[in-house]
Structure 1
Amino acid sequence: MSPRRSYDQYCSVARALDAVGDRWTLLIVRELLAGPRRYTDLHADLPGVSTDVLASRLKDMERDGLTTRRRLPPPGAAYVYEVTGRGRQLLPVLQALGEWGAPALGERRPTDAVRAHWFALPLLRGLEGEGFEGVVEVRLDEGEFHLRLGAGDDGPVYADGPAPGEPDARLSLDGGTCERVAGGTLPLRDALRAGRAGVTGDSPLAKALREM
Protein backbone atom coordinates (compact mmCIF):
# COMPACT_ATOMS: atom_id res chain seq x y z
CA MET A 1 0.00 0.00 0.00
CA SER A 2 1.46 3.34 -1.06
CA PRO A 3 2.17 5.93 1.64
CA ARG A 4 -0.50 8.54 2.16
CA ARG A 5 0.23 11.89 0.61
CA SER A 6 0.55 14.75 3.08
CA TYR A 7 0.72 18.51 2.98
CA ASP A 8 3.42 18.21 5.65
CA GLN A 9 2.06 21.24 7.48
CA TYR A 10 1.65 21.44 11.26
CA CYS A 11 -1.93 22.67 10.97
CA SER A 12 -5.16 20.90 11.91
CA VAL A 13 -6.83 21.94 8.63
CA ALA A 14 -3.94 20.48 6.64
CA ARG A 15 -4.05 17.28 8.72
CA ALA A 16 -7.78 16.98 8.05
CA LEU A 17 -7.25 17.46 4.33
CA ASP A 18 -4.53 14.81 4.40
CA ALA A 19 -7.33 12.37 5.26
CA VAL A 20 -10.40 13.72 3.43
CA GLY A 21 -9.07 16.15 0.82
CA ASP A 22 -8.87 13.65 -2.05
CA ARG A 23 -11.60 13.67 -4.69
CA TRP A 24 -14.56 11.39 -3.79
CA THR A 25 -13.60 10.81 -0.14
CA LEU A 26 -16.24 13.06 1.41
CA LEU A 27 -18.89 11.81 -1.00
CA ILE A 28 -18.11 8.26 0.09
CA VAL A 29 -18.65 9.41 3.68
CA ARG A 30 -21.97 10.94 2.59
CA GLU A 31 -23.06 7.54 1.27
CA LEU A 32 -21.87 5.60 4.33
CA LEU A 33 -23.69 7.92 6.72
CA ALA A 34 -26.76 6.14 5.37
CA GLY A 35 -25.51 2.85 6.82
CA PRO A 36 -23.40 -0.11 5.64
CA ARG A 37 -23.05 -0.36 1.86
CA ARG A 38 -21.69 -2.96 -0.49
CA TYR A 39 -19.01 -1.93 -2.96
CA THR A 40 -21.45 -2.32 -5.87
CA ASP A 41 -24.00 -0.09 -4.12
CA LEU A 42 -21.39 2.59 -3.49
CA HIS A 43 -20.28 2.47 -7.11
CA ALA A 44 -23.88 2.77 -8.32
CA ASP A 45 -24.57 5.83 -6.15
CA LEU A 46 -21.31 7.60 -7.01
CA PRO A 47 -21.76 8.06 -10.76
CA GLY A 48 -18.51 9.11 -12.39
CA VAL A 49 -16.08 7.36 -10.06
CA SER A 50 -13.95 4.62 -11.59
CA THR A 51 -13.69 1.23 -9.90
CA ASP A 52 -9.95 1.72 -9.36
CA VAL A 53 -10.37 5.11 -7.70
CA LEU A 54 -13.22 3.90 -5.49
CA ALA A 55 -11.22 0.88 -4.34
CA SER A 56 -8.19 3.08 -3.64
CA ARG A 57 -10.21 5.62 -1.66
CA LEU A 58 -11.86 2.90 0.44
CA LYS A 59 -8.45 1.42 1.29
CA ASP A 60 -7.13 4.86 2.30
CA MET A 61 -10.21 5.59 4.39
CA GLU A 62 -9.94 2.25 6.20
CA ARG A 63 -6.27 2.95 6.91
CA ASP A 64 -7.14 6.41 8.25
CA GLY A 65 -9.83 5.03 10.57
CA LEU A 66 -12.79 6.56 8.72
CA THR A 67 -14.35 3.30 7.56
CA THR A 68 -14.30 -0.40 8.30
CA ARG A 69 -15.10 -3.45 6.19
CA ARG A 70 -16.88 -6.56 7.42
CA ARG A 71 -18.40 -9.67 5.92
CA LEU A 72 -22.12 -10.22 6.26
CA PRO A 73 -23.22 -13.58 7.67
CA PRO A 74 -24.83 -16.14 5.33
CA PRO A 75 -26.88 -16.06 3.22
CA GLY A 76 -25.54 -12.59 2.35
CA ALA A 77 -21.85 -13.47 2.59
CA ALA A 78 -20.89 -10.14 0.99
CA TYR A 79 -18.53 -7.50 2.29
CA VAL A 80 -19.95 -4.15 3.37
CA TYR A 81 -18.26 -0.89 4.22
CA GLU A 82 -19.42 1.28 7.08
CA VAL A 83 -18.37 4.54 8.63
CA THR A 84 -16.58 4.55 11.99
CA GLY A 85 -17.25 6.90 14.88
CA ARG A 86 -14.49 9.16 13.62
CA GLY A 87 -15.96 9.11 10.14
CA ARG A 88 -19.41 9.89 11.55
CA GLN A 89 -17.94 13.05 13.08
CA LEU A 90 -17.74 14.40 9.53
CA LEU A 91 -21.55 14.83 9.42
CA PRO A 92 -21.47 18.50 10.53
CA VAL A 93 -18.59 19.09 8.10
CA LEU A 94 -20.70 17.78 5.22
CA GLN A 95 -23.69 19.80 6.41
CA ALA A 96 -21.58 22.96 6.52
CA LEU A 97 -20.20 22.24 3.05
CA GLY A 98 -23.73 21.64 1.79
CA GLU A 99 -24.93 24.94 3.21
CA TRP A 100 -21.94 26.76 1.72
CA GLY A 101 -22.45 25.11 -1.66
CA ALA A 102 -26.23 25.52 -1.78
CA PRO A 103 -26.17 28.87 -3.65
CA ALA A 104 -24.17 27.20 -6.44
CA LEU A 105 -26.85 24.58 -7.13
CA GLY A 106 -29.05 26.73 -9.34
CA GLU A 107 -31.26 24.85 -11.78
CA ARG A 108 -30.58 21.18 -12.30
CA ARG A 109 -28.44 20.61 -15.40
CA PRO A 110 -29.30 17.86 -17.91
CA THR A 111 -26.00 16.16 -17.07
CA ASP A 112 -26.56 16.21 -13.29
CA ALA A 113 -27.04 12.82 -11.65
CA VAL A 114 -29.44 12.78 -8.71
CA ARG A 115 -30.40 10.31 -5.99
CA ALA A 116 -33.28 10.90 -3.59
CA HIS A 117 -31.16 10.40 -0.48
CA TRP A 118 -28.77 13.18 -1.54
CA PHE A 119 -31.47 15.56 -0.27
CA ALA A 120 -31.22 14.07 3.24
CA LEU A 121 -28.50 16.43 4.47
CA PRO A 122 -30.28 19.70 3.58
CA LEU A 123 -33.53 18.39 5.06
CA LEU A 124 -31.72 17.36 8.24
CA ARG A 125 -30.24 20.85 8.36
CA GLY A 126 -33.74 22.30 8.06
CA LEU A 127 -34.91 20.26 11.07
CA GLU A 128 -31.88 20.84 13.28
CA GLY A 129 -32.28 22.65 16.56
CA GLU A 130 -35.95 21.73 16.88
CA GLY A 131 -35.38 18.87 19.32
CA PHE A 132 -37.31 16.42 17.15
CA GLU A 133 -36.87 12.68 17.67
CA GLY A 134 -38.19 9.87 15.53
CA VAL A 135 -38.23 8.50 12.00
CA VAL A 136 -39.44 10.60 9.09
CA GLU A 137 -40.08 8.95 5.74
CA VAL A 138 -39.47 11.43 2.93
CA ARG A 139 -41.16 11.06 -0.44
CA LEU A 140 -39.78 12.97 -3.43
CA ASP A 141 -40.29 12.77 -7.16
CA GLU A 142 -36.91 11.00 -7.32
CA GLY A 143 -37.75 8.34 -4.74
CA GLU A 144 -37.91 7.77 -1.00
CA PHE A 145 -35.53 7.82 1.93
CA HIS A 146 -35.92 8.18 5.68
CA LEU A 147 -34.35 10.33 8.36
CA ARG A 148 -33.60 9.39 11.95
CA LEU A 149 -34.01 12.58 13.94
CA GLY A 150 -32.18 12.66 17.26
CA ALA A 151 -30.13 9.61 16.27
CA GLY A 152 -26.99 10.93 17.95
CA ASP A 153 -23.83 8.93 17.37
CA ASP A 154 -25.27 5.44 17.53
CA GLY A 155 -26.18 4.72 13.92
CA PRO A 156 -27.14 6.00 10.49
CA VAL A 157 -28.87 9.38 10.42
CA TYR A 158 -30.60 8.62 7.12
CA ALA A 159 -31.03 5.72 4.72
CA ASP A 160 -32.27 5.09 1.21
CA GLY A 161 -35.74 3.68 0.65
CA PRO A 162 -38.88 3.58 2.81
CA ALA A 163 -38.57 3.42 6.57
CA PRO A 164 -38.54 -0.06 8.11
CA GLY A 165 -41.84 -0.45 9.86
CA GLU A 166 -44.20 2.46 10.41
CA PRO A 167 -42.47 5.87 10.44
CA ASP A 168 -43.43 8.53 12.95
CA ALA A 169 -44.20 10.93 10.10
CA ARG A 170 -44.21 11.10 6.32
CA LEU A 171 -42.93 14.21 4.58
CA SER A 172 -43.75 14.82 0.91
CA LEU A 173 -42.18 17.44 -1.35
CA ASP A 174 -42.39 17.99 -5.09
CA GLY A 175 -39.19 18.30 -7.08
CA GLY A 176 -39.21 22.09 -7.36
CA THR A 177 -39.81 22.62 -3.66
CA CYS A 178 -37.11 20.13 -2.68
CA GLU A 179 -34.62 21.80 -5.02
CA ARG A 180 -35.37 25.20 -3.47
CA VAL A 181 -34.96 23.81 0.05
CA ALA A 182 -31.68 22.14 -0.92
CA GLY A 183 -30.51 25.33 -2.62
CA GLY A 184 -31.21 27.42 0.46
CA THR A 185 -33.77 29.71 -1.21
CA LEU A 186 -36.75 28.23 0.65
CA PRO A 187 -36.43 27.26 4.33
CA LEU A 188 -38.15 23.96 5.11
CA ARG A 189 -40.20 25.70 7.80
CA ASP A 190 -41.58 28.13 5.20
CA ALA A 191 -42.31 25.31 2.76
CA LEU A 192 -44.35 23.53 5.43
CA ARG A 193 -46.22 26.67 6.44
CA ALA A 194 -47.02 27.51 2.81
CA GLY A 195 -48.31 24.02 2.10
CA ARG A 196 -45.54 23.33 -0.42
CA ALA A 197 -44.49 20.36 1.72
CA GLY A 198 -46.96 18.02 3.35
CA VAL A 199 -46.79 15.96 6.55
CA THR A 200 -48.98 12.98 7.38
CA GLY A 201 -49.12 10.88 10.53
CA ASP A 202 -50.71 10.94 13.98
CA SER A 203 -47.60 10.86 16.15
CA PRO A 204 -46.35 13.76 18.28
CA LEU A 205 -43.52 14.20 15.77
CA ALA A 206 -45.94 14.52 12.84
CA LYS A 207 -47.97 17.07 14.77
CA ALA A 208 -44.84 19.02 15.68
CA LEU A 209 -43.73 19.10 12.03
CA ARG A 210 -47.11 20.41 10.93
CA GLU A 211 -46.82 23.16 13.52
CA MET A 212 -43.29 24.29 12.57
Structure 2
Amino acid sequence: MPRQQQPARPARRRSYDQFCAAARALDSVGDRWTLLIVRELLAGPRRYTDLHADLPGVSTDVLASRLKDMEQGGLAVRRRLPPPAAAAVYELTEHGRGLLPVLTALARWGAPALDERRPTDAVRAHWLALPLLPALDGLAHGGVVEVRLDEGEFHIRTGAGAAGGAVYGYGPADAPDACLVLDAEAARTLARGERTLAEAVGDGLVEVLGDGPLAGALRTGRCPRV
Protein backbone atom coordinates (compact mmCIF):
# COMPACT_ATOMS: atom_id res chain seq x y z
CA MET A 1 0.00 0.00 0.00
CA PRO A 2 1.59 3.30 -1.01
CA ARG A 3 2.62 5.68 1.71
CA GLN A 4 0.41 8.70 2.15
CA GLN A 5 2.15 11.79 0.86
CA GLN A 6 2.76 14.40 3.53
CA PRO A 7 1.74 18.00 2.72
CA ALA A 8 4.64 20.17 1.75
CA ARG A 9 5.84 22.52 4.45
CA PRO A 10 5.96 26.20 3.54
CA ALA A 11 9.46 27.39 2.85
CA ARG A 12 10.96 29.24 5.81
CA ARG A 13 12.27 32.65 4.91
CA ARG A 14 15.82 33.41 5.88
CA SER A 15 16.18 35.31 9.11
CA TYR A 16 18.99 36.93 11.04
CA ASP A 17 17.50 35.31 14.15
CA GLN A 18 18.34 38.35 16.25
CA PHE A 19 16.04 39.96 18.82
CA CYS A 20 16.65 43.39 17.31
CA ALA A 21 14.18 45.76 15.62
CA ALA A 22 16.59 46.53 12.76
CA ALA A 23 17.24 42.83 12.17
CA ARG A 24 13.51 42.07 12.20
CA ALA A 25 12.95 44.83 9.64
CA LEU A 26 15.70 43.45 7.42
CA ASP A 27 14.12 39.99 7.68
CA SER A 28 11.18 41.53 5.79
CA VAL A 29 12.78 44.01 3.41
CA GLY A 30 16.47 43.20 3.35
CA ASP A 31 16.39 40.97 0.28
CA ARG A 32 17.68 42.44 -2.98
CA TRP A 33 14.93 44.26 -4.95
CA THR A 34 12.34 44.35 -2.17
CA LEU A 35 12.73 48.02 -1.27
CA LEU A 36 12.80 48.99 -4.94
CA ILE A 37 9.49 47.16 -5.44
CA VAL A 38 8.14 49.19 -2.52
CA ARG A 39 9.41 52.34 -4.26
CA GLU A 40 7.38 51.45 -7.34
CA LEU A 41 4.23 50.58 -5.37
CA LEU A 42 4.36 53.82 -3.36
CA ALA A 43 3.03 55.43 -6.55
CA GLY A 44 -0.08 53.24 -6.44
CA PRO A 45 -1.26 49.81 -7.67
CA ARG A 46 0.77 48.28 -10.51
CA ARG A 47 0.52 45.29 -12.77
CA TYR A 48 3.27 42.69 -12.74
CA THR A 49 4.31 43.62 -16.28
CA ASP A 50 4.60 47.31 -15.35
CA LEU A 51 6.69 46.47 -12.31
CA HIS A 52 9.01 44.34 -14.43
CA ALA A 53 9.36 47.13 -17.01
CA ASP A 54 10.31 49.71 -14.36
CA LEU A 55 12.74 47.44 -12.52
CA PRO A 56 15.33 46.85 -15.24
CA GLY A 57 17.70 44.06 -14.28
CA VAL A 58 15.31 41.99 -12.16
CA SER A 59 14.48 38.51 -13.46
CA THR A 60 10.87 37.36 -13.70
CA ASP A 61 11.55 34.60 -11.16
CA VAL A 62 13.06 36.95 -8.60
CA LEU A 63 10.29 39.52 -9.03
CA ALA A 64 7.61 36.87 -8.58
CA SER A 65 9.41 35.50 -5.51
CA ARG A 66 9.79 38.93 -3.91
CA LEU A 67 6.13 39.79 -4.51
CA LYS A 68 5.07 36.50 -2.92
CA ASP A 69 7.30 37.23 0.08
CA MET A 70 5.80 40.71 0.37
CA GLU A 71 2.29 39.26 0.33
CA GLN A 72 3.19 36.71 3.01
CA GLY A 73 4.83 39.44 5.08
CA GLY A 74 1.82 41.72 4.94
CA LEU A 75 3.58 44.41 2.89
CA ALA A 76 1.50 44.06 -0.28
CA VAL A 77 -1.66 42.47 -1.61
CA ARG A 78 -2.69 41.26 -5.02
CA ARG A 79 -6.18 42.07 -6.27
CA ARG A 80 -8.08 42.11 -9.54
CA LEU A 81 -9.37 45.38 -10.95
CA PRO A 82 -13.04 45.45 -11.99
CA PRO A 83 -14.03 45.47 -15.68
CA PRO A 84 -13.20 46.84 -18.15
CA ALA A 85 -9.62 46.66 -16.82
CA ALA A 86 -9.95 43.14 -15.35
CA ALA A 87 -6.22 43.08 -14.63
CA ALA A 88 -4.43 41.85 -11.52
CA VAL A 89 -2.43 44.49 -9.67
CA TYR A 90 -0.21 44.63 -6.62
CA GLU A 91 -0.52 47.38 -4.05
CA LEU A 92 0.97 48.19 -0.68
CA THR A 93 -0.85 47.59 2.56
CA GLU A 94 -0.83 50.23 5.29
CA HIS A 95 2.10 48.30 6.78
CA GLY A 96 3.94 48.55 3.46
CA ARG A 97 3.20 52.26 3.06
CA GLY A 98 4.84 52.74 6.43
CA LEU A 99 8.16 52.28 4.64
CA LEU A 100 7.85 55.71 2.98
CA PRO A 101 9.96 57.56 5.59
CA VAL A 102 12.53 54.75 5.44
CA LEU A 103 12.90 55.10 1.68
CA THR A 104 12.85 58.90 1.88
CA ALA A 105 15.69 58.83 4.41
CA LEU A 106 17.57 56.28 2.30
CA ALA A 107 17.17 58.48 -0.80
CA ARG A 108 18.41 61.53 1.15
CA TRP A 109 21.43 59.54 2.34
CA GLY A 110 22.15 58.28 -1.18
CA ALA A 111 21.59 61.60 -2.99
CA PRO A 112 25.27 62.68 -2.82
CA ALA A 113 26.12 59.61 -4.92
CA LEU A 114 24.06 61.03 -7.81
CA ASP A 115 27.04 63.01 -9.05
CA GLU A 116 26.66 61.84 -12.63
CA ARG A 117 24.78 59.22 -14.58
CA ARG A 118 26.88 56.20 -15.45
CA PRO A 119 26.63 54.71 -18.97
CA THR A 120 25.06 51.56 -17.52
CA ASP A 121 22.46 53.41 -15.43
CA ALA A 122 18.79 53.06 -16.34
CA VAL A 123 16.60 56.04 -15.49
CA ARG A 124 12.91 56.68 -14.92
CA ALA A 125 11.57 60.14 -14.16
CA HIS A 126 9.57 59.00 -11.12
CA TRP A 127 12.70 57.67 -9.45
CA LEU A 128 13.45 61.31 -8.58
CA ALA A 129 10.20 61.65 -6.63
CA LEU A 130 11.61 60.29 -3.36
CA PRO A 131 14.67 62.60 -3.28
CA LEU A 132 12.43 65.59 -4.05
CA LEU A 133 9.84 64.94 -1.33
CA PRO A 134 11.76 66.77 1.43
CA ALA A 135 11.94 69.91 -0.75
CA LEU A 136 8.13 69.97 -0.86
CA ASP A 137 7.42 69.19 2.79
CA GLY A 138 4.79 71.41 4.36
CA LEU A 139 4.02 73.45 1.27
CA ALA A 140 0.27 72.87 1.16
CA HIS A 141 -2.61 70.71 2.33
CA GLY A 142 -3.80 68.42 -0.41
CA GLY A 143 -1.94 70.03 -3.29
CA VAL A 144 -0.80 68.15 -6.38
CA VAL A 145 2.51 69.18 -7.95
CA GLU A 146 3.31 67.98 -11.45
CA VAL A 147 7.03 67.61 -12.12
CA ARG A 148 8.27 67.80 -15.72
CA LEU A 149 11.73 66.55 -16.64
CA ASP A 150 13.35 65.69 -19.95
CA GLU A 151 13.13 62.05 -18.86
CA GLY A 152 9.37 62.21 -18.33
CA GLU A 153 6.72 63.41 -15.90
CA PHE A 154 5.40 62.42 -12.50
CA HIS A 155 3.32 64.09 -9.83
CA ILE A 156 3.57 64.46 -6.07
CA ARG A 157 0.74 64.83 -3.58
CA THR A 158 1.61 67.10 -0.68
CA GLY A 159 0.02 67.71 2.70
CA ALA A 160 -3.31 66.08 3.53
CA GLY A 161 -3.69 64.90 -0.07
CA ALA A 162 -0.96 62.36 0.54
CA ALA A 163 -2.44 60.93 3.74
CA GLY A 164 -3.23 57.25 3.53
CA GLY A 165 -2.63 56.87 -0.19
CA ALA A 166 -0.06 57.14 -2.95
CA VAL A 167 2.37 59.97 -2.28
CA TYR A 168 3.47 60.26 -5.89
CA GLY A 169 2.23 58.96 -9.20
CA TYR A 170 3.39 58.14 -12.70
CA GLY A 171 2.90 60.56 -15.55
CA PRO A 172 1.14 63.94 -15.56
CA ALA A 173 -1.58 64.76 -13.04
CA ASP A 174 -5.19 65.15 -14.16
CA ALA A 175 -5.57 68.60 -12.61
CA PRO A 176 -2.33 69.76 -10.96
CA ASP A 177 -2.33 72.72 -8.60
CA ALA A 178 1.11 73.70 -9.84
CA CYS A 179 3.87 72.44 -12.15
CA LEU A 180 7.63 72.36 -11.74
CA VAL A 181 9.77 72.32 -14.89
CA LEU A 182 13.43 71.38 -14.36
CA ASP A 183 16.19 69.14 -15.63
CA ALA A 184 17.79 66.17 -13.92
CA GLU A 185 20.77 68.23 -12.70
CA ALA A 186 18.47 70.72 -10.96
CA ALA A 187 16.58 67.80 -9.42
CA ARG A 188 19.85 66.36 -8.12
CA THR A 189 20.80 69.77 -6.71
CA LEU A 190 17.55 69.86 -4.73
CA ALA A 191 17.91 66.23 -3.65
CA ARG A 192 21.40 66.85 -2.31
CA GLY A 193 20.19 69.89 -0.37
CA GLU A 194 22.58 72.24 -2.17
CA ARG A 195 19.74 74.72 -2.77
CA THR A 196 16.26 75.15 -1.40
CA LEU A 197 13.41 75.07 -3.88
CA ALA A 198 12.93 78.84 -3.57
CA GLU A 199 16.65 79.38 -4.25
CA ALA A 200 16.53 77.10 -7.30
CA VAL A 201 13.51 79.01 -8.61
CA GLY A 202 15.25 82.33 -8.00
CA ASP A 203 18.39 81.10 -9.79
CA GLY A 204 16.36 80.05 -12.81
CA LEU A 205 17.04 76.33 -12.36
CA VAL A 206 13.35 75.55 -11.78
CA GLU A 207 10.32 77.09 -13.46
CA VAL A 208 7.01 77.17 -11.62
CA LEU A 209 3.79 77.14 -13.64
CA GLY A 210 0.44 78.04 -12.13
CA ASP A 211 -1.31 80.95 -10.44
CA GLY A 212 -2.83 79.38 -7.33
CA PRO A 213 -1.63 79.43 -3.72
CA LEU A 214 0.47 76.30 -4.12
CA ALA A 215 2.32 77.77 -7.10
CA GLY A 216 2.97 80.89 -5.04
CA ALA A 217 4.29 78.77 -2.17
CA LEU A 218 6.62 76.91 -4.52
CA ARG A 219 8.06 80.20 -5.74
CA THR A 220 8.64 81.61 -2.26
CA GLY A 221 9.14 78.48 -0.16
CA ARG A 222 6.34 79.50 2.18
CA CYS A 223 3.24 77.55 3.24
CA PRO A 224 0.05 79.03 1.79
CA ARG A 225 -2.77 79.82 4.16
CA VAL A 226 -5.66 77.36 3.82
**TM-score, normalised relative to structure 1:** 0.95
Gap regions ≥5 residues in structure 1: none
Instruction: Please give the secondary structure, in 1, of the residue aligned with 2:27.
Output: helix
Alignment partner of 1:16 is 2:25:
yes
Say what the alpha-carbon RMSD is for the aligned residues.
Answer: 1.4
SS in 1 for 2:181: strand
Q: In structure 2, how many angstroms separate the alpha carbons of the residues matched to 1:188 and 1:109?
A: 26
Q: Displacement of 1:44 after TM fit?
A: 0.3
- Per the alignment, residue 2 of structure 1 pairs with 11
- C-alpha change, 1:152 and 1:200, in structure 2 (3 Å) is closer
Which protein shows a greater Rg? 2
Q: Indicate whether 1:146 and 2:155 are aligned.
A: yes
Verify the 8 A CA contact 1:68 1:82 in the aligned structure 2.
yes
Alignment of 1:23-172 (within 5 A): 23-150=32-159, 151-164=161-174, 166-172=175-181
Q: How much has 1:131 moved relative to structure 2?
A: 4.5
CA–CA distance in structure 2, aligned partners of residues 18 and 153 of structure 1: 27
Q: Which residue of 1 aligns with 2:5?
A: none
Q: Which residue of 2 aligns with 1:192?
A: 201
The runs of at least 4 aligned residues of structure 1 exceeding 4 Å deviation read none
Q: How many residues align?
A: 211
Gap regions ≥5 residues in structure 2: 1-9, 222-226
C-alpha separation in 2, matches of 1:211 and 1:185: 17
- Alpha-carbon shift at residue 2 of structure 1 (Å): 1.6
Secondary structure of the equivalent of 1:81?
Answer: strand
**Residue 209 of structure 1 corresponds to which residue in structure 2?**
218
Identity across matched positions, percent: 69
1:49 Cα deviation after fit:
0.3
Q: Is the 8 A contact 1:168 1:205 kept in 2?
A: yes
Deviation at 1:132?
Answer: 4.9
**3-state SS, counterpart of residue 68 of structure 2:** helix
Q: Is the 8 A contact 2:135 2:191 kept in 1?
A: no
Give secondary structure in 2 for the equivalent of 1:37.
coil
User: d(CA) in 2 for partners of 1:184 and 1:58?
Assistant: 33
CA distance in 2: counterparts of 1:131 and 1:38, whole angstroms: 31
TM-score, normalisation: structure 2: 0.89
